Amino acid sequence: MAISVGSVVAVKNLSSGGVAGAGYAVQGPVFGVVNSGAGPFEVQWNCGGVPASGLVAGVLDEITNGDGTIAAALVGRRVKSSSPAGQTNWAQGLCVAVYKRSGSDYALVVTDQGTYLEPLASTVSAA
């Protein structure tokens, strides 16, 4: 899908902690809604305030509904990392959402320490 008025977006994730495609943040990801019809975009972030303008599509991911089967298996459950092998405690926590970002399903996991992780849903399993 293409980003347009009303699209929910987030800033693209970068690899972090040596785990490809995983993002982390203390307060969780920041999502916004696109106010303008064509790039560069104006985005009203969920933290409120003045909309950010001049954002190009290359720095944004459109957030869409995740796969329902994956969501049913993970959301509301404790999850743990199942990949890479031997890293089973990397993403332990409660899965609070599953959504698509860049065409892949991501799990939003809040850890026991209160930080948020966004591992690929294919790399976690119910604990």
Q: Enumerate the domain spans of the chain.
A: 8-126
Query: Residue 61, class by beta-carbon neighbours within 10 Å (0-12 exposed, 13-18 middle, 19+ buried)?
Result: buried
What average pLDDT does the segment 7-35 reach?
67
99 near 118, Cβ under 8 Å?
A: no
Pick from 121, 117, 119: which is nearest to 28 by CA?
Answer: 117
Within its chain, how far is the Cα of 35 from the centroid? 20
pLDDT digits (tens, 9 = 90+) for 48-102: 777 888 888 788 889 999 999 999 999 999 998 887 666 666 658 999 999 998 8
Q: Is this model's pTM higher than 0.85 or not?
A: no
- Name the CA dihedral angle for 113, 115, 117, 123, rounded to a multiple of 10 degrees: 0
Question: Both tokens of residue 125?
Answer: 């399993």
